[in-house]
Amino acid sequence: MLNLPGFVIDQLGQFAPVIYGITTWYKVEVLVVGAILATGKRTVSAILRVMGLSQERTYAQYHPVLSRAVWSSLEASVILLRRLWQTFDSGGPLVFGIDETIERRRGEKIATKGIYRDPVWSSKSHFVKASGLRWVSVMWLTAIPWAQRIWALPFLTALAASERYYQQAGTASQEDHRLGTPIGLSSPSLAAGTRADVRGG
């Protein structure tokens, strides 16, 4: 078990109900704290190195937390948004942003990958393709008093599979693929319910 300060335990403990299994929860604590401390790419290997666990016999058991363990990212996002509400909500209008990033991945077994426009190397006159996974993040835009500026605070990130994947699965339309509809439609209702819950109304 990690010997964490009380305020860290209080914050992390609120996410425990969405993680199934005590041993999995312990690994989640390690990964979250390590992700905060790590520099550069926050891979599981980098996190374990900064936590001094790179030589542990259970090293390989941390990777499945993100791929096989049973937990709800949607429920976790509700808890995270509630904590953001309690800390920064001034009662003003809600402003959300949606952004996407391409994770460059190759491999025949990655069914959800697709070919997308590279936002870095492409221009109005030059189109550059990028193969990989498209991740869409929903962020709450709010003023942070001590920073004296507006920050985009992400609370939900999900994979937006390629158009070909949806066509083969027959579960969504081309419009859903382009707009990231599952995330875009869920965030307003999720946010409204969470804010009402926090403010008791």
Q: Are residue 92 and residue 145 in the same domain, yes or no?
A: yes
pLDDT in tens, 4-36: 788 888 888 899 888 888 888 889 999 999 999
Q: Are residue 51 and residue 77 in the same domain, yes or no?
A: no
Cα–Cα distance for residue pair 136/180, rounded to 1 Å: 7
Last residue of a domain, one of 49, 65, 81: 65
Q: Greater confidence, 38 or 119?
A: 38
Range of the domain at 47: 6-65
Confidence band for 201, pLDDT divided at 50, 70 and 90: very low
This prediction's pTM: 0.75
Q: Are residue 93 and residue 27 in the same domain, yes or no?
A: no
Cα–Cα distance for residue pair 101/197, rounded to 1 Å: 31
pLDDT in tens, 58-102: 888 998 998 888 888 888 888 999 899 888 888 888 889 988 888
- Asked if the structure places residue 1 within a domain, the reply is no
- Rounded to the nearest angstrom, the gap between the alpha carbon of residue 16 and the centroid of all alpha carbons in its chain is 17
Q: Are residue 112 and residue 152 in the same domain, yes or no?
A: yes
pLDDT in tens, 106-132: 777 777 777 777 777 788 888 888 888
For residue 155, the tally of other CB atoms under 10 A from its CB is: 23
Q: Are residue 100 and residue 22 in the same domain, yes or no?
A: no
Q: Considering just the CA atoms, what is the radius of gyration of the chain in Å?
A: 19
Q: Are residue 127 and residue 149 in the same domain, yes or no?
A: yes
Please state the domain count of the chain. 2
Instruction: List the structure tokens of 40.
Output: 């550069």
Q: Are residue 126 and residue 142 in the same domain, yes or no?
A: yes
- Asked if the structure places residue 189 within a domain, the reply is yes
Last residue of a domain, one of 39, 65, 91: 65
Q: How, if at all, do strands 129-144 and 96-104 pair?
A: antiparallel
pLDDT in tens, 131-188: 888 888 899 999 998 888 999 999 988 888 777 777 777 655 545 545 454 455 455 5
pLDDT at 198: 56
Q: Are residue 100 and residue 36 in the same domain, yes or no?
A: no
Q: Are residue 80 and residue 61 in the same domain, yes or no?
A: no
Cα–Cα distance for residue pair 82/76, rounded to 1 Å: 10
Q: How is 171-184 classified by DSSP, letter by letter?
A: SS-HHHHHHTHHHH
Per-residue pLDDT for 189 more than 80?
no
What are the Cα distances from residue 19, in Å, to 117, 154, 194? Answer: 36, 20, 20
